Chain A
Amino acid sequence: MSARLDVRKTYKLFIGGKFPRSESGRTYEVSADDGAFLANAALASRKDAREAVVAARKAQPGWAGATAYNRGQVLYRVAELLEGRRSQFVEEVAAGEGIKTKAAEAAVDAAIDRWVWYAGWTDKVAQVAGSANPVAGPYFNLSVPEPTGVVVVLAPQSSSLLGLVSVLAPVLVTGNTAVVVSSEKRPLPAITLSEVLATSDVPSGVVNILTGRTAELAPPLASHMDVNAIDLTGTVGAEGVAWGELEAEAAGSVKRVVRPRDSEPDWSQLPDGPRRILAFTETKTVWHPKGM
């Protein structure tokens, strides 16, 4: 009997809760670490990037307006579905990163646990980073962290799932929405993650994922006037990208910028506190008099 032919997946972009092809009609070849053909991924254009920002902005008030408990439940649900797709992710990560199954399993397990860790922060960040301030006068004074808005995330080039989760989840915790530029050479787990997001309770537009050339997509996003913050982590190891230039572009609308490290971090280490969450928040301080 001949071997059964598998039905291969088509990898498209994830924008506004839907899976469109690039408006440019372009794709590019994604190969395994050993050069074998894996799939054609959509080669996103600056127009796709613009659409993604529109979708993220539209979804942001609703996501920020949900209770912290609700956001936590939604994010936890994503972890439940990630767990269900574990073997699919293990295959994609192993093939794309050229690592053994055992290492891929460790990475996927860590990614799921990382997502759970962040889900548990939604209703705690305010308690850790907020405060009632004892001003010298008859005033009630309260500081609370609020989401900054729409965040562009350049996902790590090398760690295609664990690294991706480690930069995406913290953005969502307080109610930001995200436009993610996936790893250029290892984009496939990002789209499979999109499938998980599309079938969980994450509202459309909260996460948008573009696959393609970092050098092509990062500049229009860095200079986009309706983006509030940008995470430049994915510039490490990206072709034709200088993160300093992107930071300079971002200054045009005073975006909050997270600079990359010199090299891609060891994502297996648990984050050192909620710093990655707080990088994408604003602190709101309110005064109110106290008097009978």
Chain B
Amino acid sequence: MSFEYAPAPESRAVVDIASSYGLFIDGTFVEPEGGKTFKTVNPATEEVLADVAEAGEPDVDRAVAAARRAYDKVWSRMPGSERAKYLYRIARLLAERSREFAVLETLDNGKPIRESRDVDVPTAAAHFFYYAGWADKLEHAGFGPNPRPHGVAAQVIPWNFPLLMLAWKIAPALAAGNTVVLKPAETTPLSALLFADLLRQAELPPGVVNIVTGARETGSLLVNHPGVDKIAFTGSTPVGKRIAAEVAGSRKSLTLELGGKAANIVFDDAPIDQAVEGIVNGIYFNQGQVCCAGSRLLVQESIADELVDRLKRRLSTLRVGDPMDKNTDVGAINSAQQLERITMLSQAGEDEGATRWTAACELPEKGYWFAPTVFTDVHPAHRIAREEIFGPVLSVLTFRTPAEAVAKANNTPYGLSAGIWTEKGSRILALADQLRAGVVWANTFNRFDPTSPFGGYKESGYGREGGRHGLAAYLAEGSAL
């Protein structure tokens, strides 16, 4: 007798989605001056969710001016203890309205409701709560007796964790005393727009946070605006490089959080069942659309076959489908464009001679879907070992010795994260020393906490988000010398 799980859908009714949204500037929603809009869709069904404004140059001007006014007249004059209390309000409101935000995030992004509910929203609320407590303690944060904010921060965030990335940007910026103009990703604007409504309930002074929706052009206008003191960007490495080039020669402070091609290293003495879970979590969590995804499995050759067998067995229990179903493990790919990239690179993997295996699962007719896939017989020269796929595709390589594992793990222009699986503590620490990655997870993966700094080496970017270190980006004393 088999145990079939009946549908367990979360209800959409808990959240109100407007048919159209304006830009959130100076505390209210306004129409874009150019009148341009674009649509945001549910990637699981291709249904249009809403019309969203596209901010043009006059809109970006207006938003930056509002942020500047709010900074000069209100926010920079407010004692840290009062700023703290606004941030605490935001954290508490996010926790109170968590269900609305979780449902909205799933509808707009395609990620399973279980993830939005259990990871994205609670971690975002915790992030605000943590940074609230720094707002009135900056002199104890290790940046000198009187650290000052930059002023107006321009923040551009990606589509993979829309609300969480918003929290990672806005919370420390405000805690440090900056005001913000934030541009959410083109395909996932809705949770940021609901966040604007939350700011109304928090009674945050107008102009302290401004949200301008749009696509690449809006982001470019924002980043290049002369009225902006600081830029924080999370997104792809090519775009990050372009921004760095554009900002060069100016006095704007910049932090970047870019791509990755993390190695998840499994030794023959790994706690094997937990390692399998960690591998699965590392590359299939959020459909693999994670900058720090463990997209390269480096397994010790002596246990490679056994590990891959166990992995495939485990993958066959992954539930792929309707993101609004509470039992779904793997949701939809965020956009047609992203799906195309994943498909193209997977084909390259096959063309280059790697062995492809895909979990058997029924994919829905509409929407953007990619079944969890594993490539074995992958070598460092292959494209799928070097390029960030940003999808549920794992490349498996082998190694013989710890030194070889380190060499292969570091052999990439990226350096965001890495995983180590072994029961031997001294090996974990020795390896962690040698891995050129900003985050090292040992016997676990994809763990995030507001207190824990996150960021990359090399082409994965610079600057850290989270923790005491995360304040540096938003304080003049933490930035340029």
A contacts B directly in the complex (CB < 8 Å)? Answer: yes
CB of A116 within 8 A of CB of B81, answer yes
Q: Is the beta-carbon distance between B429 and A289 smaller than 8 angstroms?
A: yes
Residue of B whose beta carbon sits closest to that of A114: B81
Residues 116-136 of A contacting B (Cβ, < 8 Å):
116-117, 119-124, 127-128
Given the complex of chains A and B, what is the CA–CA distance between A117 and B82 in angstroms? Answer: 11
Q: A117 to B136, alpha carbons, bound, how many Å?
A: 7
Residue on B nearest A126 in the bound complex, by CB: B451
CB of A73 within 8 Å of the partner chain: yes
Query: C-beta contact mask, A249-292 vs B, less than 8 Å → 1, else 0?
Result: 00000000000000000000010011000000000000011111
**Partner among B129, B135, B141, B430 whose Cβ is within 8 Å of the Cβ of A69:** B129
Which single residue of chain A is at the shortest CB-CB distance from B88? A76
Structural contact, B426 and A273, CB atoms closer than 8 A: no
**What CA separation (Å) do A290 and B428 show in the bound complex?**
8
Q: Is A113 located at the chain interface by the 8 A CB criterion?
A: yes
B450 within 8 A of A: yes
**Cα-based distance from A121 to B468 in the complex (angstroms):** 12
User: What are the interface flags for B281-312 relative to A under an 8 Å C-beta threshold, 1 for contact and 0 otherwise?
Assistant: 00000000000000000000000000000000
B402 beta carbon closer than 8 Å to chain A: yes
CA distance in complex: A290, B81 (Å): 42
Query: Which residues of chain B from 413 to 431 have any CB-CB distance to chain A below 8 Å in the complex?
Result: 425-427, 429-431
**In chain B, residues 42-58, which have Cβ atoms closer than 8 Å to a Cβ of chain A?**
none
Known: A123-B133, A288-B425, A290-B429. A117 touches B140 (CB 8 A): no
Q: Using Cβ atoms and an 8 Å threshold, which residues of chain A touch B450?
A: 69, 123
Q: Knowing A72-B133, A113-B81, A117-B81 touch, does A123 contact B451 (C-beta < 8 A)?
A: yes
- B contact patch SS: helix
Q: Is the CB of A124 within 8 A of B84?
A: no
> Is A15 engaged at the interface, CB distance under 8 Å to the other chain?
no
- State the interface size on chain B (CB cutoff 8 A): 30
Checking B85, B426, B451 against A288 with a beta-carbon cut-off of 8 angstroms, the contacting residue is B426
Identify the B interface with A (CB < 8 A): 81, 84-85, 88, 126, 129-130, 132-137, 139-142, 402-403, 425-427, 429-431, 433, 450-451, 467-468
Given A116-B88, A124-B468, A128-B140, CB of A288 within 8 Å of CB of B133: no
Q: Which residue of B lies closest to A120 (CB)?
A: B133
For residue A43, CB closer than 8 A to chain B, the reply is: no
Is A68's beta carbon under 8 Å from chain B?
yes
Given contacts A69-B126, A116-B85, A292-B403, whether A124 and B427 have CB atoms under 8 Å apart is no
Please, which residues of chain A bring their CB within 8 A of the CB of B134? Answer: 120, 124
Q: Which residue of B lies closest to A139 (CB)?
A: B429
Smallest beta-carbon distance A107→chain B, Å = 16
Cα–Cα distance between A292 and B434 once the two chains are bound (Å) = 11
C-alpha spacing A127/B134, complex, angstroms: 12
22 A-B residue pairings within 8 Å (CB atoms): A69-B130, A113-B81, A116-B84, A117-B84, A117-B137, A120-B137, A121-B133, A121-B137, A123-B130, A124-B133, A124-B134, A124-B137, A124-B468, A127-B451, A127-B468, A138-B430, A273-B139, A288-B425, A288-B426, A291-B426, A291-B430, A292-B430
Contact B427 A291 (CB under 8 A): yes
A interface vs B, CB < 8 Å?
68-69, 72-73, 76, 113, 116-117, 119-124, 127-128, 138, 140, 270, 273-274, 288-292
B451 surroundings in chain A (CB, below 8 A):
68-69, 123-124, 127
CA distance A223 to B64 in the complex (A): 63
Q: Are A292 and B133 in contact (CB under 8 A)?
A: no
Nearest CB of A to B204, in Å: 17
Measured CB to CB, the nearest residue on chain A to B468 is A127
Q: Is the CB of B467 within 8 A of A127?
A: yes
CA distance A291 to B433 in the complex (A): 10
Q: Could you tell me if B403 and A128 are in contact, using CB atoms closer than 8 angstroms?
A: no
User: What B residues does A76 contact at CB under 8 A?
Assistant: 88, 129
Nearest A residue to B433, CB-CB:
A290
Chain B residues in 8 Å Cβ range of A140? 429
Contact B426 A290 (CB under 8 A): yes
Q: How far is the CB of A91 from chain B (nearest CB, A)?
A: 24
Q: Which residue of A lies closest to B401 (CB)?
A: A292
Bound-complex Cα distance A69 to B429 (A):
26
> B140's contact among A116, A122, A273, by CB below 8 Å, is which?
A273
Residue of A nearest to B434 (CB): A292
Q: Check A120/B141 contact, CB under 8 A, given A290-B430, A290-B433.
A: no
Q: Determine the residue in chain A with the shortest Cβ distance to B87.
A: A120
Q: Which of B81, B135, B142 is A128 in contact with, Cβ under 8 Å?
A: B142
A288 x B88 contact (CB < 8 A)? no
CB distance from A137 to the nearest CB of B (A): 12
Q: How far is the CA of A134 from the CA of B415 in the complex (A)?
A: 23
Q: How far is the CA of A127 from the CA of B429 in the complex (A)?
A: 20
Cβ contacts under 8 Å, B130 to chain A: 69, 123
| Complex: A288 Cα to B425 Cα, angstroms | 8
> Contact at A128–B425, with CB atoms within 8 Å?
no
CB of B310 to closest CB in A, whole Å: 25
Contacts of B433 in A (CB 8 A): 290
* Interchain CB contact (< 8 A) of B402 among A68, A128, A292: A292
Question: With A121-B133, A291-B430 in contact, do A128 and B141 touch (Cβ < 8 Å)?
Answer: yes
Contact of A289 among B85, B88, B426 (CB under 8 A): B426
- Could you say which residues of chain B place their CB within 8 Å of the CB of A117? 81, 84, 136-137
Known interface pairs A124-B133, A273-B140; 16 further A-B residue pairs with C-beta atoms within 8 A, sorted by A's residue number = A69-B130, A69-B451, A72-B133, A76-B88, A76-B129, A116-B85, A120-B84, A120-B132, A120-B133, A121-B133, A127-B451, A127-B467, A140-B429, A270-B136, A291-B426, A291-B430
B141, closest chain A residue (CB): A128
Question: In the complex, A289→B140 CA distance in Å?
Answer: 32
Q: Is the CB of A292 within 8 A of B129?
A: no
The answer to whether A120 and B136 touch across the interface, beta carbons within 8 angstroms, is yes
Of the candidates B129, B139, B140, B468, the one whose C-beta lies within 8 Å of that of A73 is B129
Cross-chain contact B133 with A119 (CB below 8 angstroms): yes
A68 proximity list for chain B (CB < 8 A): 451
In the bound complex, CA of A292 to CA of B433 (Å): 11
**A292 — which chain B residues lie within 8 A by C-beta?**
402-403, 426-427, 430-431
A116 CA to B88 CA, complexed, in Å: 9
CB distance from A193 to the nearest CB of B (A): 20
Looking at the assembled complex, report how far the CB atom of B266 sits from the nearest CB atom of chain A, in whole angstroms.
15
